[in-house]
Every structure is written in structure tokens, then in C-alpha cells.
Structure 1
Amino acid sequence: MKRLRHFLSSMVGRLFVILLLGMGVAAIGATMLASAKRQQEFERQNLTRIADRLQGYINLLDGNPELRERLLEVGGPSVRALPPGAREGKLDTALMAVLDDRPGPAARAQVHFTSFRSCLPKLQDLLPPPPPPGHRRPPRERDPSFIPPKCRAVELVLSDGTPLKLALDSPAVAHNGILAVDPVFLTLLVLAIAVLAYVVARMASAPLQALSSAAEELGDDLQRDPLPLAGPREVRRAAEAFNAMQQRLQRHLSERTQMLAAITHDLQTPLTRLRLRLENVTDEALRERLIGDLAAMQALVREGLELARSAESAEQRAALDLDSLLESIVEDAAESGADVAFEAGSGAVLMLRPLAMHRLFSNLVDNAVMYGQRVRVRASRRDGATVVVVADNGPGLAPDQLEAVFDPFVRLETSRSRETGGSGLGLTIARALAEKDGARLWLRNRPEGGLEAVVEWPAAAGGAPRPAGVVRPE
């Protein structure tokens, strides 16, 4: 049911339902209309045959006065003398309209519906005996696939002025009503319409799905290949607009990076001169404070440049052994004296950018060591997804601050003291690196205290067997 709701909420599902209903109603309506036309033609031909029999018998009576009594006694095909006392019902205008075009006395005939007993005078002798008193027969269900037999009373005047009353019967005939559609034919029709509707819906939504996928990939990789200019005119125009937008974004990001690089380069000289001059300050305490502020400025400039480069990096992806990368980062941190351990691996091999991933997890581990002292790193696989958790035993964060720390230049002093340094760009850079490789990065508080940084790759980017050429950082 969940898959059905997901399918119906998509454009493919909605187009499929609209086309299925529209084409189904049109096809079934056309089938019913054709069936009605066939039924009308069948009834017209049936009336023509009845009129032919009646006219043949009347012409025989009209042309043979000496044999008329004998012919009336014997009767003709479905035609005989009307018994006296027969009650006449409504006019049969359809049969009278057919007789109007016939020559001879039949054109002036009056035709009324009457009881079928008038056509079969001895019918009561053929019926079963009546049931005993108090017995009720179950009602018969009328078969809609047959037209019941009918009896008509025909009044006319022969050419010599002799009035004549005849009983004309028509047998039961098979009847395919307007709604009588072959279930096999209807099933095949609906299946054919459903297949056609699904194919058309997929074809109509394919360009939009391609555009949506390209937009998602553009968020991860601004240097992706442009969309191919193929398909209908509207699709080509949309692809052209998307490619133009991608080029503008690339140019804007390149200009921003170049601007930050130029600012960084231009600031290096005055900052170096300031540092040399600060060395001549005689007050040692003041000198240390000023040098610390200058170092913070230099770190801020460098990290601002790293933030810009993290979104523009053109590093190629490679099959990366994730466990080897994490073990290498943990060993480097442990050699520097930090309490860091790698608890469990996932065995996943992902197509990632090795240098970017090293920067991502180094940033997370250094951040955890700085504020939590004791750090544990573990990787796992669940439902095809690959998850890496970097946990510390620090003070954690307030629930409303778990997302705010990813904003640039945000430092929350309630949990991250300013004395520890940092420019407020570390987590911003880490999330940018993770998202560029198709992962999600978020923070959560541990129930036993501390903070966890979670990096997750969805099942679509899940691990693969270790192929030849896998990158294993040392």
C-alpha cells in the first residue's frame, strides 16, 4: 500500500491514472456505442424479415381469392388468422414504418402488439397442469441475452375490399444489449490500455525525471557533465536553460574562490609585517595576546578559502576502503596523544574522493577530541546504507543547536568554548564535503552523555566487493 501511494503521488502515477481512466472510458464508451449501433441494425433487419414474411402471405391471400379461406385455415410462416376476442395493445410503429414502403395492401396495415396466446391458440393444451391451490411457483429470472417472442395483431383491407385480421408472431432471438460486453474482450482492452498508459506516462515524465536527477547531482558535483540536448523542443529548451544555469553557477563559484584566494594572498604580506612588528612589543603579555589575535585572523582567512574550495574541488572519485581510511585517521590522532579508538568496521568500499574524505573525518575526529577528549569511531552497514559514527564524551549540545552549528561562523559557547579556538567553519566545511559525495552529516546527543557526528551514505551508494585498485590510505 505504501508503494502504491508513492507511485500515485509521482508524476508517472498521476499521468498513468489520468490516461488509464480517460482512454478506458473512451474505449468502453466507443464499444458500447458500436454495440448499440449493431443492435439497432440487428433489430432493423429482424423487422425487415418479419415484414417480408407478412407481405408474402398477404400477397398470396390477395392474389388467390378462391383459396383464401383454405390459406387462412392453414396459415403461413409465423402468420395465421387472428382469433376472435384478441385484445389489441399499443401500435408497433417500427414495423408499420417498414411496411409503409411496401407495395400493395401491406402498406395500409395497422399493427398492434397483442397477447402471445393470439398467435398460439392451442398453447394452453401444451402447458403443464396448473399447480394445486396455495402453491406458488418461484419467479422466473428473465434472461437478458434473449428478446422474448412477440405477437402482433395486423389489420388490413385487401385489394377487393375484404377486411382481414392476422396474427403475426416473431420467435425469441439472441440479444446482445448495450452493456453486454464480452468479459475476455473487456479484460484484454483494459490491459492493453493500461500498458499503453504506463508507457506513455513513463515517456512523458522521463525528461522531468532526468532533469530532477541532474539537479540532485548538481548539488553534489557542480562540475558534472551538462545535460544532452535531445528530445522534443520543450525538453531541449529546459536542458539548455539548466546547462546555462550550471555554467553561471560554475562561473560564480570560480569567481568567489578566486576572490577569496586573492584576498588571502594579499593579506599574507600585511599580516606577516604585523607579526614581525609585534615581536618588538616589549610587554610580553600584550605581545602574546596580539599574536594570538593575528593567528586567529590567519586561520579565519585560510578556512574561508577552504570552504570555497570544498564546493569547487575537481578531485576524481575512486574506490575507497572506508575502514582503512578511518583506521589511518584514528592512528594519526592516537599518535598525537589523544584518546581515540576505532571500534568496528563496515567492510564497505565506496566511490569517494579520498582527499576530501580524509579532510572530512579528520575534521570530525579533531573536533571531537578538542571538545570531548575521549573519542570512539565505528562504521556499520544497515539496510544497504553505510554509516560512520564519531562519538565523544563531551557536554553535548542543546536540541535547537544541533543544526545551528553547521552555519558558517557559528560557535556556541555553551558547549564549545571560544578558548579552544576555531573559526566556526569546521562543521560547515565537513557537511559540504559530505554532501558533495552523496552523504548526509548530522549531530545527535548520546543518551549516556556526549555528542555523535553521523555520516550516512544511502543504499544507492552502498559498498561493493573489494575490487582491484581500491584506495587504502596508509
Structure 2
Amino acid sequence: MTRLRTFLGSMAGRLFVILLLGMMAAAVGVTLLAEAHRRQDFERQNLARIADRLQGFVNLLDANPELRSRLLAVGGANVREVKGAFRVGEADTGLMQILAEREGSVAGARVRATSFRACLPPFPEFLPPPERTSAPPPARRRDAGYLPPRCRLVELELGDGTPLKLALQYPSVARSGSFAFDPLFLSLLALAIAALAYAVARIACAPLQRLADAATELGQDLQREPLPVAGPREVRRAAEAFNAMQQRLQRHLGERTQMLAAITHDLQTPLTRLRLRLENVADVPLRERLVNDLAAMQALIREGLELARSAESAEQRVALDLDSLLQSVAEDAAEAGHEVVFGQGCGAVLLLRPLAMHRLFSNLVDNAVKYAQSARIDARVRDGQVEVCIRDHGPGLAADELEAVFTPFLRLETSRSRQTGGAGLGLTIARTLAEKNGARLVLRAPSDGGGGLEAVVTWRTPAWSVPRR
């Protein structure tokens, strides 16, 4: 049910439903119209045959006046002379229109519905009359597959002006039931329409899906291969526009990185001269404050350049053992004198950029030890997702600050530490690196209530994983 709901919520699913309902309605409508047209043709042909019989009999009477009485006594095919009075009903306009188009005496004939007794031959006089009873005669059972015979009273004048009344019998004919469709035919039609609608929906939405996948990959890798320009004219135009946008983004980020690198390089010389001159300041407290400010300025420049480079990386993905990477990050931090341990491993091998991932987890570990002096790294596979958790036992963050700390140049020293180091770009760079490698970085409070903070990196796309052999 979840898959069906997901499919119907997609563009392909909605297009499939629209095509299915539209083509089914069109097929049913065309079938009904064809059935109605077929019935009309059948009725007209049947009336034409009845008119032929009537015209043949009337022409025979006109051509043989001396045999007229004997012909009327014998009658023709479903035609006989009417003697006596019978109840009449509405005029049969269909048969009258057909007779009016013909030549001879039948052209001016008047046809009306009458009792079926008028079409029955008279009973012989030696038969006893039927007994009259109060009970009504039993109703005749009608077969739903046939139209019962009908009787029409035809009034006309022969060629010599003799008036004539004839009883014309419509024979019973087979008719279709109320449900004129074959269930097997409907099932095959619905199956064929559903298959065609699904194929058309998938074909129509495939370029849109490729464009969406390319946009997702572009957010993770700006240096990805351009989108192939193929397909219909509209699809080619969309692919060309997407590739042009990718090129503009690459050029923009390249220019920005180059500009920051040039600024950083040009600032190194004056900053070095300024550092040498500050060493000659006689006031020791003033000299220390100025040197610290200069060091903060240099750190800010370096981290700004690192942030720009993190958004534009040409490093290729390789199959990386995640446990080995996390173990090396923990050992590097421990060698630097920090209390960092690697606890649980997950055994996952992922397609990642090694340098970017090392910088990502190093930033998270540095952030943890700066505010809590210790950290623990754990990796696990949960619900088909690879999750890396870096836990510290520091003062933690308020709920409204868990997302705000990812804002560039934003520092919350009052809630985390009394130190003022850092430029407020560490977590921003870490999230950028995570997104570039198909992961999601969030901060959260530990579920065990022990205090501190957890930085969790999650890979939610199984396509990034490589099975370990």
C-alpha cells in the first residue's frame, strides 16, 4: 500500500491514472456509440425488409385485380387483410419514412401500431368460443434475448382507388442484453490500456526523473558529468539549460575560490610583516592581545578559504572502509593529547572522498574536544542506513540552537565554553562536506539523558554502499 501511495503521488503515477481513466472512458464511449450505430443500422435494415414484403404484396394486388380477392384471402408473408375494428396506437414513423421514399401505392401508406390479434388468422367457426373466466390469463414469459413479434395496421389506397387495410407482422428478432460487453473483452481491453498508460507514463516522466537525479547529484558534486543532450526538442532544451547552469556555477565557484586564494596569498606578506613589528611592542600585555587578534585574523582567512574549497572539490570517490577512517581520526586526536576513543564499528564500505571525509570527522572531533575535552566515535547500521555518531559530554546546546550553529561565522561561546577560539565555520564546513558526499549532518541531544551533544552523520542512500567481500 505504501508503494502504491508513493507511485500515485509521483508524476508518473498521476499521468498513469489520467491516461488510464481517459483511455478507458474513450474506449467505453466509442464502444457504446458503435453499439448504438449498429443497432440503428440493424433496425433500418429490418424495416427495409418488412417494407419490401409489404410493397411486393401491394404491387401484386395492383397488377392482378381479377385475383385480388383470392390474394387477400390467402395473404402474403406476414401480411394479411384486416377485417373488423382493432385498437390502434401511435404511428410507426420509421416504416412510414421508408415507404414514403418508394414508388407505388405504399408511398402514401399510414402505419400505426395495433393489437397483435389483428395479425392472427381467424379461427375456424367450428372451434368453441373460449370460456370467460374472472381470472386473468397467465402472462407469457418473455425471453430477454429476443424482441417479441409486433403488429402494425397499414392503411393505403390501391392504384384504382380501392381503400385497403392490411395487418403487417414484425417478426421476433434477437437482441442484445442490457450488458452488451463481453467481460473477457473488457478485461483484455483494460489490461492493454493499463499497460500502454504505464509505458507512456514512464517514458514521459523518464527525462524529468533524469533531470531530478542530475540536480540531486549536482548538489553533491559540482564537477559531475554534464547531462546527455538527447530526446525530444523540449528535453534537449532542458538538458542544455541544465548544463549551462552547471557551467555557470562551476565558473562562479572557481572564480570565488581563486579570488579568496589570491586574497589569502596577498595577505600573507603584510600579515607576516605586521607580526614581526608586533614583536617589538614594549608593552607585553598589549603585544599579546595584538598577536592574538592577528592569529584570529589569520585563522579566519584560512577557514574562509577552506569553506570555499569544500564546495568545489575535484577529489574522486573511492571504496573507503569507514571503520578504518574513523579509527585513524580517533588515533590522530589521541596523539594530539585529546581523550578520543573509537567504540563501535559498522563494517561498511562506502564510495566516499577520503580527504573530505577525514576533514569532516576531524572537524567534528575538534569541535567536541574543544568544548567537552573528550569524545566517543561510534558507527552502526540502522534500518538500512549507515550512521556515525560523535558523542561528547559537554554543556550541550539548547533546542533552538541545534540548527543555528551551522550558520557561517556564528559562534555560541556563552553556551559551550568560555574560550573565544574559532571563526564559526567549522560546523558549516562539516555540513558542506557531508552533503557533498551524500550524507546528512545533524546535531541532537543524547537520548539517554546523560547530557552533552551528539553529531550524527547519516548516509540514507543505499547506492553509496559497496558490499564488503
The question of a shared fold, defined as TM-score above 0.5 by the shorter chain, is answered with yes
> With structure 2 as the length reference, what TM-score do the two structures score?
0.90
**Other-structure match for 1:250:** 250
CA distance in 2, matches of 1:411, 1:120: 109
**Other-structure match for 2:467:** 465
CA distance in 2, matches of 1:344, 1:364: 17
- CA contact 2:151–2:169 (8 Å) conserved in 1: yes
Q: Per the alignment, in what secondary structure is the counterpart of residue 413 of structure 2?
A: coil
**Other-structure match for 1:263:** 263
> With structure 1 as the length reference, what TM-score do the two structures score?
0.89
CA distance in 1, matches of 2:140, 2:300: 96
State the 1:392 CA deviation: 1.0
Distance 1:364 1:83, change over 3 A: farther
Q: Which amino acid aligns with 2:291?
A: I
Q: Say which is worse superposed, 184-193 or 320-329, in terms of deviation.
A: 184-193
Q: Per the alignment, in what secondary structure is the counterpart of residue 56 of structure 2?
A: helix
CA deviation map 1:208-264 (0-9, x unaligned):
222222111111111111112222222222222221211111111111111111111
Q: Per the alignment, in what secondary structure is the counterpart of residue 296 of structure 1?
A: helix
Sequence identity percentage: 69
CA distance in 2, matches of 1:99, 1:76: 18
CA distance in 2, matches of 1:132, 1:364: 105
Distance 1:272 1:140, change over 3 A: farther
Q: Which amino acid aligns with 1:415?
A: S
CA distance in 1, matches of 2:399, 2:139: 77
The 5-angstrom pairing of residues 127-206 of structure 1 reads 143=144, 146-176=146-176, 180-206=180-206
**Other-structure match for 1:225:** 225
- CA contact 1:386–1:462 (8 Å) conserved in 2: no
CA distance in 2, matches of 1:225, 1:103: 83
The 5-angstrom pairing of residues 387-398 of structure 1 reads 387-398=387-398
- CA contact 1:32–1:178 (8 Å) conserved in 2: no
Distance 1:418 1:426, change over 3 A: farther
Distance 1:66 1:21, change over 3 A: same
Alignment of 1:42 with 2:42, yes or no, is yes
CA distance in 2, matches of 1:380, 1:142: 75
State the 1:122 CA deviation: 7.4
Distance 1:103 1:304, change over 3 A: same
Q: Which amino acid aligns with 1:448?
A: G
State the 1:129 CA deviation: 11
State the 1:88 CA deviation: 1.1
Distance 1:140 1:310, change over 3 A: farther
**Other-structure match for 1:406:** 406
Distance 1:348 1:129, change over 3 A: farther
Distance 1:51 1:348, change over 3 A: same
CA distance in 2, matches of 1:44, 1:32: 18
Q: Which amino acid aligns with 1:217?
A: E
Distance 1:122 1:439, change over 3 A: farther
**Other-structure match for 1:471:** none
CA deviation map 1:324-377 (0-9, x unaligned):
111121222233333322222221111000111011111111211221233221
**Other-structure match for 2:20:** 20
State the 1:438 CA deviation: 0.8
Distance 1:461 1:367, change over 3 A: farther
**Other-structure match for 2:79:** 79
Alignment of 1:308 with 2:319, yes or no, is no
Distance 1:91 1:438, change over 3 A: same
CA distance in 1, matches of 2:332, 2:457: 20
Q: Which amino acid aligns with 1:349?
A: V
- CA contact 1:410–1:424 (8 Å) conserved in 2: yes
CA distance in 2, matches of 1:450, 1:440: 20
**Other-structure match for 1:54:** 54
Task: Give the structure, 1 or 2, with the largest relative contact order (CA under 8 Å, sep 6 or more).
Answer: 1
Q: Per the alignment, in what secondary structure is the counterpart of residue 419 of structure 1?
A: coil
The one of 449, 452, 455 aligned to 1:453:
455
Alignment of 1:370 with 2:376, yes or no, is no
- CA contact 1:36–1:177 (8 Å) conserved in 2: no
**Other-structure match for 2:94:** 94
- CA contact 1:346–1:380 (8 Å) conserved in 2: yes
The 5-angstrom pairing of residues 240-389 of structure 1 reads 240-389=240-389
CA deviation map 1:154-175 (0-9, x unaligned):
1222234333222111122223
State the 1:114 CA deviation: 1.1
CA distance in 1, matches of 2:249, 2:131: 97
**Other-structure match for 2:239:** 239
Distance 1:80 1:14, change over 3 A: same
Stretches of structure 1 that go unaligned for 5 or more consecutive residues are 468-474
CA deviation map 1:74-119 (0-9, x unaligned):
3322222325221111111111121123333222321111122322
- CA contact 2:152–2:167 (8 Å) conserved in 1: yes
State the 1:198 CA deviation: 2.5
CA distance in 2, matches of 1:378, 1:387: 8
The RMSD of aligned alpha carbons is 2.8
Distance 1:452 1:60, change over 3 A: same
Q: Count residues with an aligned counterpart.
A: 462
CA distance in 2, matches of 1:55, 1:402: 98
Q: Per the alignment, in what secondary structure is the counterpart of residue 85 of structure 1?
A: coil
Q: Per the alignment, in what secondary structure is the counterpart of residue 414 of structure 1?
A: helix
Q: Per the alignment, in what secondary structure is the counterpart of residue 169 of structure 1?
A: strand
- CA contact 2:445–2:452 (8 Å) conserved in 1: yes
Q: Say which is worse superposed, 404-413 or 102-111, in terms of deviation.
A: 102-111
Q: Per the alignment, in what secondary structure is the counterpart of residue 415 of structure 2?
A: coil
State the 1:283 CA deviation: 3.2
Alignment of 1:432 with 2:423, yes or no, is no
